Structure 1
Amino acid sequence: MKRNMKQWVTDYINAPAKKGMPILSFPGIQLIGHTVEELVRSGELQAQCMKAIADRFDTGVAFSLMDLSVEAEAFGAPVHYSEDEVPTVHGTLINDEDEAEALKVPKVGDGRTGECVEGIRRACELITDRPVLAGIIGPYSLAGRLLDMTEIMILCYEEPEMVESVLEKATEFLIEYAKAFKEAGANGVCMAEPAAGLLSPNLIDEFSTPYVQKIREAVEDENFVVMYHNCGNITPLMQNISDIDAVAYSVGNAIDIEEALKVIPADKMIIGNIDPAGTIRNGNPETVYKETTDLLERCGKYPNFVIASGCDIPPVSPMENIEAFFDAVRDFYNK
């Protein structure tokens, strides 16, 4: 459903009570009775999964799958699938400058990208009571999956032109991919750029931020926003990330989220950052409830803070733990 998302962010910040926004999609396999592998290959199942989550939990937004292998696979990278784990990229696609130059930019629809777009189109038909955010990878994180995560760090120093060549192609594709989600009816995208959290302030300014901004500027308008997600240890990069000027940020549990709230402007939404694996996946309802309540009590004084998970909640996370998160949010705001 079309809505003014810039106004929605402002209204959410000003609201005295806020719904939680965990990055919650994959656990929906438990509700619809399918495997992760079946889910990631089918747009219809992705929409059913998002709808099942929206029906079960009173979330602030409906997030699509955070599957960071989709775009790399469209470029030709090999991907490993599993019944109960999120797909991962295996192996290196680009080994030298010649291969970087020869790299072809895929079309939206290549690999599984067409299914993901169709999944959002269908989800937007099924979910109309809250914004729907599609998921895309960030440019540096995509380049790292094509060049190898360790290798790209070295190449940033030794062969920066090669990295920039891959980044330009990644950015070109991501702009078109985001536009396809926009056309499909999404209210925005959540851009996952975790690999940039490994960079120094100078390197993130060179190899991530300009490309993120280029994507954001190409697709964002009052009805479509880019939420920037980085679940790395971004404390030393906070000012650099603030310079992206996104309307909303999602930060991981590797940092104290209050550090982000002190740096990023008060008119920007900041969501996070309960540990999705250690707490929600491997904890129990009591620990989830306590940690969620504790974080709300500490950071609820910041109007632009919205409680969420620090990253994507794993597929087989216990439903009672997820329910405990929402119980804590409800109880806190009903006090």
Structure 2
Amino acid sequence: MKINCSLFELAFCRFLIYNRKNEAYGDNFTIAPVLKRSNMTARERCLQVFEGKTVDRLPNFNIIMGFSAAYCGKTYRQYVSDHRVLCECDLRCAEDFRLDILSAISDPMREAESFGAEVLLPEDGVPYSPAPLIADLSQIRRLKAAAPENSPRTLDRLKSVEYFKTIGKDYCIGGWVEGAFAECCDLRGIDRFLMDIALEEPDFIHEFLEKTCEQAIRFALLQIQAGADIIGIGDAAASLISPAMFEEFAFPYQKRIVEAVHRAGARTKLHICGNTSAVLPQMIETGSDILDLDWMVDIGSAKRLLQDKTTILCGNYDPVAVLLQGSPEKIARKVNECADAVGSYYLSSAGCEVPRDTPAENLLAVADALAARTPNA
């Protein structure tokens, strides 16, 4: 699938982003110089880590969605509804804060719209559905999704990936899909779906999960065709269930998505917000190349659990207490603690998304701390 962007479109959008007054941070904010010129491109750095090789510095894999929009003076509605805005904002942040991945993640409701859910886009809030699409479980039998390339917001993400490939060739490019479990929560409502898996016939629930899993795989494969190196799999709601329920209702579908992505030649990053300590063995068993760990998880213990596996860990300093509220000195200390606890096969990041109102100097402190560790493995 080819999505064409003109050179004029690329240049004009960059002009608008870079020359608009920075409403969130002001015109007086300046980026400090890089401590030391890097020897590798961001893409080269990531590929080296994936193979367990030495790098000039650890990759910075922070997720920046709301921060990115605010930093570039854009509303979140603009960011989630126009791939050019998302891409240009993220590229600017990658350049200013020395990030190593350009990721098409923005919100969890893109696939929901492709299934037919009503999705509202607040001016400066996260997209949401005002009412569950699946009000009654009998509707599951009739549930069908539009092809991702034919649904406006999934198409917009495909355009994001290809646009990134055009303007950010030196970066690792990340696509994103909702995990099957999380997507069922999006379509049914999280409270109702959690009750469903506790009270309803498992076969009925698995039919629902099959449909959301199939759509995730279709969407992932199209993003890989558009140029994604990594597919993030967001399954946050899966941290709310017991290990036994996780084993039955989340793990098999995560594993299927991972395997489909691998067959297509890309890597995966399994992202489950919250305390996933009790389900780490299953997360590892999915075969995902990268595991995002939230700040509640002991990342050193997770590394020991891996034993000789080359699974890459990503995380996991506290995005609020450390990144949003901490001093640059505290941030540097926590960045180093996480890196030291893991060693090789590691990507630096907060446990989850960078909060929108994080001071720019705090995110820059992450980059400085990573640069000060060079060289690293």
Q: TM-score, normalised by structure 1?
A: 0.90
Match of residue 250 from structure 2: 208
> CA contact under 8 A between 2:316 and 2:349: conserved in structure 1?
yes
> CA contact under 8 A between 2:54 and 2:375: conserved in structure 1?
no
AA of the residue aligned to 1:323: L
Q: Tell me if 1:93 matches 2:133.
A: yes
The one of 334, 340, 346 equivalent to 1:305 is 346
1:126 Cα offset (Å):
0.6
**Matched residues in 2 for 1:316 and 1:65: separation?**
18
1:156 Cα offset (Å):
1.3
> CA contact under 8 A between 1:36 and 1:315: conserved in structure 2?
no
Q: Tell me if 1:186 matches 2:186.
A: no
Q: Tell me if 1:140 matches 2:174.
A: no
> CA contact under 8 A between 2:76 and 2:126: conserved in structure 1?
yes
AA of the residue aligned to 2:74: H
After superposition, give the CA deviation of every residue in 1:259-309 in whole Å (9 maximum; x if it has no partner).
Answer: 221213531111001222333234343432332233334x15x31232211
Where structure 2 has 5 or more consecutive residues not aligned to the other structure, the ranges are: 1-40
The one of 216, 226, 235 equivalent to 2:277 is 235
**Matched residues in 1 for 2:260 and 2:118: separation?**
29
> CA contact under 8 A between 1:25 and 1:65: conserved in structure 2?
yes
Residue aligned with 2:124, SS: coil
**Matched residues in 2 for 1:50 and 1:313: separation?**
13
After superposition, give the CA deviation of every residue in 1:75-113 in whole Å (9 maximum; x if it has no partner).
Answer: 233334333333234432212222111212222031411
Residue aligned with 2:117, SS: coil
The one of 331, 351, 372 equivalent to 1:288 is 331
Residue aligned with 2:352, SS: coil
Match of residue 151 from structure 2: 110
> CA contact under 8 A between 1:139 and 1:171: conserved in structure 2?
yes
**Against the structure 1 CA distance between its residues 5 and 92, is the aligned structure 2 distance closer, same or farther, given a 3 Å change threshold?**
farther
Residue aligned with 2:114, SS: helix
The one of 247, 252, 261 equivalent to 2:303 is 261
- Counting only pairs closer than 5 Å after superposition, residues 309-320 of structure 1 correspond to structure 2 as 309-320=350-361
Q: Tell me if 1:121 matches 2:191.
A: no
**Matched residues in 2 for 1:9 and 1:225: separation?**
13
**Matched residues in 2 for 1:219 and 1:292: separation?**
30
Q: Tell me if 1:67 matches 2:124.
A: no
> CA contact under 8 A between 2:230 and 2:266: conserved in structure 1?
yes
Q: Identity of aligned pairs, percent?
A: 23
Match of residue 331 from structure 1: 372
Residue aligned with 1:202, SS: helix
**Matched residues in 2 for 1:136 and 1:294: separation?**
30
**Matched residues in 2 for 1:227 and 1:275: separation?**
19
**Matched residues in 1 for 2:50 and 2:367: separation?**
23
**Matched residues in 2 for 1:213 and 1:6: separation?**
23
> CA contact under 8 A between 1:289 and 1:324: conserved in structure 2?
yes
**Matched residues in 2 for 1:5 and 1:244: separation?**
25
> CA contact under 8 A between 1:285 and 1:320: conserved in structure 2?
yes
> CA contact under 8 A between 1:65 and 1:135: conserved in structure 2?
yes
Match of residue 363 from structure 2: 322
Match of residue 322 from structure 2: 279
> CA contact under 8 A between 2:72 and 2:89: conserved in structure 1?
yes
